Amino acid sequence: MSWTRKLLRVNLTAGTVTEEALNMNWANDYLGQRGLATRYLVEEMDPAADALSPENKLIMATGPLTGTSASTGGRYSVICKSPLTNAIACSNSGGFFGAELKFAGWDMVIFEGKAASPMYLSIENDKATLLPANDLWGKSVWEADKIMRTKHQDPQARIACVGRSAEEGCLYAAVVNDLHRAAGRSGVGTVMASKNLKAVIVRGTLGLGGIHDPKAFAETTKAGKAVLAENAVTGQGLPAYGTQVLMNVINEVGALPTRNMREVQFEGAANVSAEAMAEPRKSDGKPNLTTNGACYSCTIACGRISTVDRTHFSVKDKPEYWINSGGLEYEAAWALGPDTGVDDIDALTYVNFLCNEDGLDPISFGSTVAAAMELFETGAISTAQTDGVELKFGSAEALCWAAEVTAKGEGFGKDLGLGSKRLCEKYGQPQFSMTVKGQEFPAYDPRGIQGIGLAYATSNRGACHLRGYTIASEILGIPEKTDPLESAGKAGLVKAFQDATAAVDSAGLCVFTTFAWGMDDIAPQVDAACEGNWSTEKMMEVGERIWNLEREFNAKAGITGADDTLPDRLLSLPANVGPAAGKVNELDKMLPEYYSARGWNADGSVSAETHQKFGLPG
């Protein structure tokens, strides 16, 4: 069965913790994790409720393969309504926390209400207790982690925690687990902090059994691992270079958004690339990258473990940062680097450490800084707002300062914590915000890569690459190459990626497997683990059902087809250089075709037929 068939309901208002049976009818329709938690959220809360009110719920959810030996079977997601987008938030994280939750006997934890004072949840197998967190409040994730470990005297416990940014109301605060893995996007950490919930510490020694067909599971997971090992991307590229392998590639195709997406190629890209991370530095002869690290059960191991040069201005007087920790992944490196015009790899690594330490989504943070730099350049803000700091494109000092004040919610850091949309609105220049539905863009310019523009515009959680990673096809040729500059045919491609990703997430697997795995590789693993018939067709159907359910949540939250758009800069300001020079994103051509492929009405609403076809609630 692979599900533990139990969930933990934590009512923070009442201070109660209760066990509940998992709704297996829903599990059959929505699989687990992202899909199943969304089904619970739709059932239990009004999508129109204020995301930061006690009416919002926050769900930590695993998938049926989380905790198994299937490669990458260690993922969990945090699901709630987002304060950044007012849409559904579903942020996926690796590390070891999700698997531990499963070993403690829980498929998911639902938090509801709001505690009167700061609390944290301790889970030891079937014993779950709410404990006071007054001493943890006001502490960074890294500090709180230490305090909890000392208190619980358990080095093997796993911790998910929010930082000071979340406590201070930064709208894109993450939930950080295992010190440097994060449910990063859409402000799920902000929601957690709004409930006065600082952390969850979990220790599971019960283990996970009940694999439906153990022999088939052993065979299919072994075959799956062989496919990953033999694939050039998952077997060689990602372990050696991490996602940062993309920096030079995307720059070359002219789709590396630069200086708040005004330009599409960055002259300093090579300085902040994977290759640069492997270069020995002058001060101590060591490279930025120490080694690669894996999340639970992952046989790819794309994670970067890095150090900052001890002689760098950012850390030379701060020995607490002379450590190894989570290093630069591509999206973070892009947002902190090319998008702000900074090509100082040590500054980027330091800021990445701060993002992990205090739970900032580095994509939203970097993009917001980029917008602030454009505001500064045009005079909409000045040193009067920035405490005297010259917030200029390309300034590593300004970037480091911005991270420090945003992490703690101090001074101008409060403004930066609003995110790019609200910041630009506040200073009267909304056109500088590179966002969809209020969420900042990731690292691919939709002028040079047409399909990803449609994926951004229609993503259920606002601009995001992980809701439909068409880069795989448009740039890397997976599963087949499509022309990045061509918008024709991208509607079907985006839909296929969106549906497949929803199913992969809901299984508890990592989407990076899909560089090598098709649904024909994934479905047999799910089918062997779970009761029921989990064919490729069923997985795709479940993915599409989830997509439609999320869309309906958003509709009830007041989001319409009019929000499926891109900033004017990408629709009317052509790319300046490179292969995409002269191109804008052709969203207007792709969107009607996409709605039609989805079986939606012309205004982007889910049609009655499609609603009925997938048996959606309400």
- Residues with Cβ < 8 Å from 475, sequence gap 6 or more? 249, 250, 253, 255, 449, 484
Question: In this structure, are residues 325 and 179 in contact, taking their beta carbons and an 8 Å threshold?
Answer: yes
Residue 604: its H or E element? none
CB of 300 to other proteins, least distance (A): 8
Q: Could you tell me the end-to-end alpha-carbon distance of the chain, in angstroms, rounded to an integer?
A: 28
CB nearer to other proteins: pick between 487 and 513: 513
Per-residue CA distances from 193 to 29, 169, 365, 438, 582 (Å): 31, 8, 18, 20, 45
DSSP 8-state symbol, 200:
E
DSSP 8-state symbol, 561:
G
Question: In this structure, are residues 386 and 444 in contact, taking their beta carbons and an 8 Å threshold?
Answer: no
| Angle subtended by helix axes 33-44 and 536-556, to nearest 10 | 30
CB of 67 to other proteins, least distance (A): 6
**Piece of the chain touching other proteins by CB under 8 A; list 67-75, 343-351, 447-455, 543-551:** 67-75
Separation between Cα atoms, residue 279 and residue 272, nearest integer Å: 11
Among 161, 166, 294, 333, contact with other proteins (rule: CB under 8 A): 294
Residue 239 found at the interface with other proteins (CB under 8 A): yes
Separation between Cα atoms, residue 392 and residue 610, nearest integer Å: 49
Phi, psi of 23 (to 5 degrees): -75, 100
CB nearer to other proteins: pick between 198 and 225: 225
Residue 512 found at the interface with other proteins (CB under 8 A): no
CB of 508 to other proteins, least distance (A): 12
**Piece of the chain touching other proteins by CB under 8 A; list 13-21, 296-304, 415-423, 501-509:** 296-304
Residue 102: its H or E element? helix 97-103
Residue 319 found at the interface with other proteins (CB under 8 A): no
Residue 346: its H or E element? helix 345-358
CB nearer to other proteins: pick between 292 and 576: 292
Question: In this structure, are residues 78 and 166 in contact, taking their beta carbons and an 8 Å threshold?
Answer: no
**Half-sphere exposure of 212 toward its Cβ, with a 13 Å CA cutoff?**
17
Which tokens belong to 190? 């902000």
The 3-state DSSP class for residue 81 equals: strand
Residue 156 found at the interface with other proteins (CB under 8 A): yes
Among 11, 53, 69, 271, contact with other proteins (rule: CB under 8 A): 69
CB nearer to other proteins: pick between 298 and 591: 298
**Half-sphere exposure of 442 toward its Cβ, with a 13 Å CA cutoff?**
29
Residue 96 found at the interface with other proteins (CB under 8 A): yes
CB nearer to other proteins: pick between 70 and 523: 70
CB nearer to other proteins: pick between 129 and 291: 291
CB nearer to other proteins: pick between 45 and 229: 229
Residue 1 found at the interface with other proteins (CB under 8 A): no
**Piece of the chain touching other proteins by CB under 8 A; list 32-40, 299-307, 512-520, 607-615:** 299-307
Question: In this structure, are residues 160 and 189 in contact, taking their beta carbons and an 8 Å threshold?
Answer: no
Among 23, 53, 292, 601, contact with other proteins (rule: CB under 8 A): 292
Among 1, 130, 147, 229, contact with other proteins (rule: CB under 8 A): 229
Binding positions for other proteins, 180-219, rule CB under 8 A: 204-209
Site string for other proteins, 515-554 (x = CB under 8 A): ----------------------------------------
Which tokens belong to 244? 């940062």
CB of 233 to other proteins, least distance (A): 15
Residue 299 found at the interface with other proteins (CB under 8 A): yes
Binding residues with other proteins: total (CB under 8 A):
36
Binding positions for other proteins, 337-366, rule CB under 8 A: none
**Piece of the chain touching other proteins by CB under 8 A; list 188-196, 304-312, 491-499, 592-600:** 304-312
Length in residues, the chain: 618
Question: In this structure, are residues 162 and 193 in contact, taking their beta carbons and an 8 Å threshold?
Answer: yes
Strands (E), 327-397: none
Residue 555 found at the interface with other proteins (CB under 8 A): no
Residue 63 found at the interface with other proteins (CB under 8 A): no
Residue 236 found at the interface with other proteins (CB under 8 A): no
CB of 363 to other proteins, least distance (A): 24
Rg for the chain (alpha carbons), in Å? 22
Question: In this structure, are residues 130 and 199 in contact, taking their beta carbons and an 8 Å threshold?
Answer: no
Residue 227 found at the interface with other proteins (CB under 8 A): no
Among 48, 223, 232, 323, contact with other proteins (rule: CB under 8 A): 323
The 3-state DSSP class for residue 606 equals: strand
User: Does a cis peptide bond (omega within 30 degrees of 0) precede residue 574?
Assistant: no
Residue 179 found at the interface with other proteins (CB under 8 A): yes
CB nearer to other proteins: pick between 301 and 540: 301
Which residues in this chain contact other proteins in the complex, by CB under 8 A? Answer: 67-69, 71, 96, 99, 103, 156, 179, 204-209, 225, 229, 239, 290-299, 301, 303, 305-307, 323-325
